[in-house]
Amino acid sequence: MSSSLKKIAQLQLLLSEMEEDFGIKDNSTIEKRVLLALADLYSEDGAVATHDIMEHQLIYGFSRPSFYRALSALEEQGKIKKAKSVRGFYALCAE
């Protein structure tokens, strides 16, 4: 069991370094999860519906208001943007 915990610790340290590299280390847990869910669902040629992001496994357990606050915060930070002329679609901002 201790070797499994050590592996988890190493993965957590790696994840923390990657979050810092991508500039999301200081984001809240839900902001990170929303961003990662969007990245998981996103394809280069399109955008992702808010409903699909909300239904993603990473978002499970968060309240609807928290989800929308996270979307708004990520948009203000320039990490995501509203996409398409139709309401309710988001895309990743170019890095």
Q: Edge-to-edge strand order for the sheet containing 48-49? A: 48-49, 89-92, 80-82
Which of 38-47, 61-70, 76-85 is the least confident region? 38-47
Among 40, 33, 26, which residue's Cα sits nearest to residue 59? 33
Name residues whose C-beta falls within 8 Å of residue 41's C-beta, 6 or more positions apart in sequence: 48, 52, 53, 56
16-51 confidence digits (pLDDT tens): 999 999 999 999 999 999 999 999 998 766 789 999
- Predicted pLDDT of residue 86: 76
Q: What is the mean pLDDT of the chain?
A: 92
DSSP string, 21-55: HHT-TTS-HHHHHHHHHHHHH--TT--EEHHHHHT
Q: What is the pTM of this model?
A: 0.88
